[in-house]
Structure 1
C-alpha cells in the first residue's frame, strides 16, 4: 500500500479593506493517509502575487507547535531535530513547499501546517491531517501506553542555563500517544521509539531557565491516546534551589543606655535551608554580654555605648554565602521625673523635680548636677496653705554642691565643641568662636555654602590674629603623614594607604571603607569613608585645578592604587 492523496484545497481567506479578498492560503491536501514504514508526500502550492520571505512546515501538538522544516530565500533549507534525514523539500521553488516525509511511523499521525510569510500581504497557512495505518489496518488494536512522570536528571538552580525540569513518558503504546504540557514556564521537546511489535514509546522533556520565583509553581503533563477513556494528567511541583537572601531586623532606632532584652534577628530565605549563621561586627570588637544563637544575636546586658557599631550576619547553605548588616546607635540615658511622695511633710518633699547632669564629659567645679523644676501644673503638689504656710516658689535651678564662688584663677570652662588640643586664653576679651560653634551658627542661620565659607574664613582670621591664640603639636601631625603622599602634576595623592592607616593606628580592611570622589567644575577630591562612621574619614587625593574627566579619574585611581584595594564607590 502506498500513500494516498486527496483533492487539493485552499486554506482560509483573509479580507482586506472593504471586504476585498487579499490573500488565500496555500493549496494542500486536507487529509492524507499513509502506511507505516512507507513515505508520504505533503503538498503545498503557494499562489501569491506578493514577495514570499519564508515558507515552513509545523506539526501541531495539542496547544503547542513544533517546527519541522524551513525554506528561507537567503539562508536556504533547514530541518529541525528528530526530522533531520527524514524530511526533504520536493524542489527549490518558494512557490512549491511540498515535502516528503520518509519512513512513516505511528507518531507521525496528526495535523501539519504549511505556512507562507509574505510581504506586504502578511502570513497565509493551510493544514493537512495525516493518518498512519499498519500493514493490516483491520487487525490494528490500540494498546494503552504506560505513563510515568519523573524529575529531570539535574537540580534546578537559580541563575543556571536551561535545564530539564521533568520527563513525561508514554511507553509501549499503540499507536503513539500524544503528550502535551501545561504551565507556561518553559518549552517541551519530544522523541519517539518504534519497537518491532509496532508499539511506540514517546518521551517528552519539559525545559526551563530556573529562577527562584518559579519555586512552588506547578506544571502538568497531559497524555492522550485512543485506548484511554479520558486524558491523563500528571502534575509536578518545581523545586528551585538558590543561595540565601538575608535581612537583619530587630533594631527600632530607640536603643538607649540601660535598655534591656533587645536582640537582632537574621532572616534568611534559602533553598536548601541555611546550614550556618555567623554574627560578627565590622570593627572586630565583641562587647561582653553579646551571645549569638543560630539566627538571633542576644544583648544580655543593659545597653551601653560599647554596643554602638555595625553588626553583620552571614548565612551559608550548600549554594553559597550571603550577608546583611545593621548599624546600631546607642542613645544617651533617658531622664525621668521621680514620682511624688504619697504623704509629703515639708516643702522639700512635696515638690516635683528631677536631677539633670552637666553638659559635656564629667563633673567639675563648673559642671555640677542641678535640680530642675519643670514648668507644669504638677510640679508642686497641692497642699493646704495659709498665712503660716505660704505657697513655695520653684527655683529655676540650684546645685547640690556648695554655692561658694569658685577660685577666679581656675580659668574659664572649655566649650563642649572646642578642640581639646587648643589651649584657651585667660583673657577677659570677648570669646573667640570655635569650629563647633561655627558649625552650629551656619546650621541655625541656614547659610548657603558660599556664605558659610566666607563667615568661617573671617572668623578663623580673627582667631589666628588674637594675641593669646596658641597651637599645640597636634596641628603639626601632617608632618608624620607627608611620606605617604606624592604630587603628580596638579594632583596630590596617597600612594601608601596601609601606611597612613598604620600611622593613624587603624587596621586597614578595604571591605570596611567606601571611596568618595567629589568634584566641582575645576577641582577633585577623594576621601575614604568608614562604614557607620565609627572611624574618621581619610583624605587620599586632592587637586585644586583638575576637572572631572575620564583621563583625570583614571589618573586619580591609579595614583591611590585602587586596583590593589578595590573599595566600593559612594555616589553623590
Structure 2
C-alpha cells in the first residue's frame, strides 16, 4: 500500500532539471523536490544522459546538508569497489552495479525519519569532464488521522453567547493539517500540539455556536486538508444543542371589542429541554381581573377596557428564560358591524345611481317616441301628397284651379 503512494508522490514532484552545468555538455537529471511518508521508503532519482565517447564516471557521491549548512557524505559508489555508506542498512543504490557503466546514481532511503528532511546533492565525478551535480529537496510527510464529534452542552444556566458544539482533531500530521468548518457564522478556536511521533503535530479545532432552534439539528462539516491527501477529508455530523425558550404569542385577530367573551391568547414556545413554567403578566403589572392564566394559554372571560394593554408571556426551562410581548387594541364595537354599515351605504349609492340612469334612459325613450316619429310621419305624408298632385296635373288639366283658368 505504501509503494503506490510513494510512486504518486514522486510523479507529483517538480520536473527534473539540472542544477549545475559546468563548461561541458553533460548535465545531471534530478527532480528539485521529492516527498516521502514518515516511516516509509523513498527514492531520490539522479541520472546522466548517454555519455560521449571517451567520457567515463569515476565516482558518485551523495551529500546531505545539515541544519548548520554543512554538506555531509551519506553514500558513495565506486565503479569497481561498489557502494559505501556511513549508516548501512537504510540506504541503497537503485541501479548502480560494480563493473557496469555508471550513469544511474539513484538512491533509496528506507524508514524515513523527520531528520531526513533536507537538501540532498548528487555529484558525478567524470573524466575528463570534471564534476557535475544536481540537488533535490526531500520533504518528509506524515499522513494524519482525523476524527470529528459533537460536544454535549451541559444543562446549566448559560450566559448569552456561543457554546462549544463540535470538535475536529487531525492527529500526527506532518506538516500540520489545515482545518475549516462549513458554518461560517460560528466561531472556531484552533490549537496545535506536538504529536506522539517526533516531528508530527496534532491540530484541534473547536466550533462554537449560539444555542438556538436553528442550531439544534443543524448539519456541520469539518474539512481537513493535508499535502498527503489527494482530496480533502470531509467529516459531517448533526448537532444536538439545547437552547433557552424562544417565545411568541398568538390568538389576537384585531377583532377584540368591548363585551366580547372567551377570547384566548396562546404562548407558543420552541424549547430544548421542555419548558418548566409559564408566567403571564402585563407591562402595567398583574393581569386584569377578567384575564385568567391557564399554563400556556391566557383566557379572557370578557373583553373590557382593562384588556387594552400589552401582555407578556415569560417561559423558563433548564437553560434560561425567554419572553414575548403582544399589544392588544380594544375596539368600541365589532369591526364586522362597521363593515356591514359600510356595505349598506355602498348599496344605497349604487341603487341611487341605478335609478338616475334608468330615469335618463326612460326620458330618451319617451322623447324618441313622441317627437321623432310624428315628424317622420308628417314628412312622409307631405311627400306622398306632392306626388299625387303632380300626377293629377299631368293627366287631367280640368282639375286645375278655376281661377287660374279664367285668368287665362
| TMscore range, shorter length | 0.3 to 0.5
Higher-Rg member (1/2): 2
| Higher RCO (Cα < 8 Å, 6 or more apart) | 2
Q: Provide the TM-score with structure 2 as the length reference.
A: 0.39
Q: Provide the TM-score with structure 1 as the length reference.
A: 0.30
Q: Answer 1 or 2: which has greater helix percent.
A: 2
